[in-house]
Amino acid sequence: MPSDLAALWGPAGAGNRPPRVLGLFAHPDDEVFCVGGTIARCAAAGATTAIVSLTRGEAGQIRDATAATRRTLGAVRAAELARAGDALGVDHVTCLDLGDGRLGKQPLTEVAATARAVIASFRPDVVVTFGPDGATGHPDHAMSCLATAEAIRTTADPPRLLHARFPVQEQLLLDVLVAWLTSHDERFTGTAEFGHALKLIADGCSMLGVAADHFDVEWFPAGSSIIEQGEFGTELFCILSGSADILAEGADGHVHDLATVGPGCFVGEDEIATRCPRKAHVVAREDVTCLVLSPGRADPSAGRDAGGAGTEPAGTERFAVDVHAALDHKVAALAAHRTQYALGADLLPRTLLESLFATEHFTVAQPAHAAPAEESHEHAVL
Ligand SMILES: [Zn+2]
């Protein structure tokens, strides 16, 4: 095992046999953000790996209407999970059916019994799940954490338990995108698909707190100004629909038509890079919608420390895993979840993917209490 994965195994080390790593989550796609790169690296290094989703994700959104319907979503997402597992090189992928959106309301003992059966059958050395607040506050995520902890508490010879953590990041996607856009000699020309992928990623990042941008979608009726020449602005606009003219006004009042831009194109990046007033007007040719990125979080409570810094006991051990080496696998796994992340694996800039996905953070859960004797026999009896 590479030495930087040693933090995963803890003081006991990985032992003599190939180590076994289990990711146990609430929904298909949770695994990508929580442990995707790390489990891919473990698999590549010879570990035996498994991912289990407690539900089929049938209550989730359908971001690509061609990929599923409300009736088919559960089956489609179970198949997406299998493909994501393949992309990550995971050995065993299981999608259970405890009820998306209802998991958090089920009795802890029942969900814990399922988690205990999963652990008893795979016999992992390490289990990764959500932290107590479920990263996004989703009750199903929180239940997957509680049930896993309860299962481990009542398992003899328990595995090491890790929580995926999403620390508040101060980085701005805006800065990453501006650096990338201004590194091109020619203006970047995107597509509506690119704009959609960027918006989905921006939504996800906003929810997990991995970027400190304020994201908004704004509408500009035909003929209105998206940007006015001479103003100072810190917003970056990605056109999602419609088209706009870039018009430079000379000192004599003459207006030069510099370019027309459409879906997936950006405006405003140059002046953010140079910190100069806007050099041109950008005017909507027809009704235009834009994804607008600006510094500052939309909601100060978003992006809270999902590792639960406020509730963690003092001395809680944390570590991070660099997953650059597995980034392609992780992005391919994300793209496998087509109903949730309608993006091609090579659609978004590499620098953006690296800034968002190349580090995974974990908290070591406090050791479980010793299992009472009668409970420790439970799965032997079953
Ligand atoms: Zn989820």
Listing DSSP states for 356-382 in one string gives: HHSEEEEEEPPPPPPPPHHHHTHHHH-
Separation of CA 178 and ligand 1 centre (Å): 30
pLDDT in the model for residue 307: 42
Write the burial class of residue 361 (CB in 10 Å: 0-12 exposed, 13-18 middle, 19+ buried).
Answer: buried
Spatial CA neighbour of 109 closest among 100, 121, 117: 117
CA quadruple 29, 30, 31, 33: dihedral sign: positive
Separation of CA 38 and ligand 1 centre (Å): 18
How many contiguous H segments (helices) and E segments (strands) does the chain have? Answer: 13, 15
Separation of CA 86 and ligand 1 centre (Å): 19
pLDDT in the model for residue 24: 98
Spell out the domains of the chain, with CATH numbers in brackets.
Answer: 3-168+304-366 (3.40.50.10320), 173-294 (2.60.120.10)
Pairing of strands 281-284, 225-227: antiparallel
Spatial CA neighbour of 291 closest among 210, 223, 196: 196
Q: Which residues surround the ion ligand 1 when the cut-off is CB under 5 Å?
A: 27, 30
Q: Which residues contact 218 (CB under 8 A, 6 or more apart)?
A: 289, 290, 292
Separation of CA 182 and ligand 1 centre (Å): 35
Separation of CA 220 and ligand 1 centre (Å): 34
Separation of CA 176 and ligand 1 centre (Å): 26
Torsion of Cα atoms, 173 then 174 then 180 then 184, to 10°: 150
SS3 for 331-353 is HHHHHHCCCCCCCCCCCCCHHHH
Write the burial class of residue 245 (CB in 10 Å: 0-12 exposed, 13-18 middle, 19+ buried).
Answer: middle
pLDDT in the model for residue 347: 84
pLDDT, averaged per 10 consecutive residues of the chain (382 residues), comes to 81 76 97 96 96 96 90 97 98 97 94 97 96 88 96 93 91 93 91 92 86 93 96 95 96 93 96 94 97 80 47 80 96 94 82 92 78 42 32
CB 273 within 8 A of CB 330: no
Separation of CA 53 and ligand 1 centre (Å): 9
pLDDT in the model for residue 382: 32
Per-residue tokens: 273: 């890079």
Separation of CA 382 and ligand 1 centre (Å): 30
Pairing of strands 20-25, 48-53: parallel
Separation of CA 55 and ligand 1 centre (Å): 9
